[in-house]
């Protein structure tokens, strides 16, 4: 299957990154979000990223213009029938995703592939909201999307081999390295990463060390490029909590119990970089 046009649903950090890499790879991109403000902000963010690439000599002015011209924004999912592949990248909340997939299923031709960028929710359950379970698949991009080379590709129970191969090829066309993983809570990336972040939060909660000390140990002692608490702030503490809750519910194992301090910070609105404060304070 040749995929020339991609629709991305969601104008958050992940959606913006997916749009940028898709347009940069030469694909026509439809970008949908119910918020015109979010779409405009997303376009500005992409333009800023492209300006940085120009400043480093990696991109010309004409190439930047061409990339931006390949992006078309829309507030409606009705335009999804123009795309061969739709990638959903909205909040990690199953009812929201299922509602979007039901609407996409009604709008798109039967051959359209419907992908979700979920980082932890079951692909099979999302697919069950449609009448095309064989056309639904997981494409879990890493954050920040323009920089990170990995895409986890996750089959649902009924995902066809043809769909898997088409999405694997698209990932390569986007300059990414696709890795197949199975449909288990958290897949591989977050099943390994989030318990580490959660344990780092426990060390702060229990008074073992300060956030700065925990991050320094992991950076200097384990050669991590970013400390786990810095990373949690970048991801968003609300997202970290949501993933831990999915792992805890999915496996029924106490080792995935979210740290009480993580819950407290989220309830207090300390969500990390996006709110200006998490384990660290951030200025605009």
**Catalytic residue IDs:** 119, 140, 152, 190
The answer to whether 13 is annotated as binding is yes
Which sign does the torsion angle of CA 92, 95, 101, 103 carry?
negative
The answer to whether 212 is annotated as binding is no
The answer to whether 134 is annotated as binding is no
The answer to whether 92 is annotated as binding is yes
Please say whether the beta carbons of 100 and 90 come within 8 A: yes
The answer to whether 15 is annotated as binding is yes
- State how far the Cα of 236 lies from the Cα of 132, in Å rounded to an integer: 32
> Which residue spans within the chain are E strands per DSSP?
5-9, 28-32, 71-74, 85-88, 113-116, 136-141, 150-155, 177-181
> How far from chain centre, in Å, is Cα 56?
26
Residue 252 is classified by DSSP as -
DSSP string, 45-95: HHHHHHHHHHHTTSS-HHHHHHHHHTEEEES-GGGGGG-SEEEE---S-HH
The answer to whether 143 is annotated as binding is yes
CA distances from 156 to 81, 134, 177, 231 (A): 22, 8, 20, 29
- State how far the Cα of 7 lies from the Cα of 174, in Å rounded to an integer: 14
> How far from chain centre, in Å, is Cα 49?
18
Q: How many CB atoms lie within 10 A of CB 241?
A: 23
The answer to whether 117 is annotated as binding is no
The answer to whether 33 is annotated as binding is yes
The answer to whether 14 is annotated as binding is yes
The answer to whether 10 is annotated as binding is yes
Which residues contact residue 88 at a Cβ distance below 8 angstroms, ignoring those fewer than 6 apart?
Answer: 9, 10, 97, 100, 101, 104, 114, 115, 116, 117, 118
Strand order of the β-sheet with 71-74 is 71-74, 28-32, 5-9, 85-88, 113-116, 136-141, 150-155, 177-181
The answer to whether 138 is annotated as binding is no
- Summarize the annotated binding site for NAD(+) as residue ranges: 10-15, 33, 92, 97, 119, 143, 274
- Summarize the annotated binding site as residue ranges: 10-15, 33, 92, 97, 119, 143, 274
């Amino acid at each position: 299957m040749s995929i020339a046009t991609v629709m991305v649903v969601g104008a958050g950090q992940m959606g913006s990154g997916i749009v940028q890499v898709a347009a940069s790879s030469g694909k026509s991109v439809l970008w949908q979000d119910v918020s015109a403000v979010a779409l405009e902000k997303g376009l500005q963010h992409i333009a800023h990223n492209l300006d940085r690439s120009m400043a480093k000599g990696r991109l010309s002015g004409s190439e930047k213009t061409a990339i931006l011209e390949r992006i078309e924004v829309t507030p409606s999912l009705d335009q999804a029938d123009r795309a061969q592949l739709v990638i959903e990248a909205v909040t990690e909340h199953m009812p929201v995703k299922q509602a979007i997939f039901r609407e996409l299923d009604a709008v798109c031709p039967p051959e359209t592939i419907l992908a979700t960028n979920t980082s932890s929710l079951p692909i099979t359950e999302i697919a069950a909201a449609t009448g095309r379970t064989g056309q639904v698949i997981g494409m879990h991009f890493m954050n920040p999307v323009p920089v990170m080379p990995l895409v986890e590709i996750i089959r649902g129970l009924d995902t066809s081999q043809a769909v898997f191969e088409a999405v694997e090829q698209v990932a390569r066309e986007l300059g990414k390295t696709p890795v197949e993983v199975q449909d288990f809570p958290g897949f591989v990336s977050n099943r390994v990463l989030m318990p580490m972040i959660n344990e780092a939060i426990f060390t702060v909660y229990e008074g073992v060390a300060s956030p700065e000390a925990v991050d320094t140990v992991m950076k200097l002692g384990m050669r991590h490029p970013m400390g786990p608490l810095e990373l949690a702030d970048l991801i968003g503490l609300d997202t970290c909590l949501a993933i831990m809750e999915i792992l805890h519910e999915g496996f029924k194992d106490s080792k995935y119990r979210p740290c009480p301090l993580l819950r407290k910070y989220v309830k207090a609105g300390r969500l990390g970089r996006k709110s200006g404060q998490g384990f660290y304070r951030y200025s605009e």
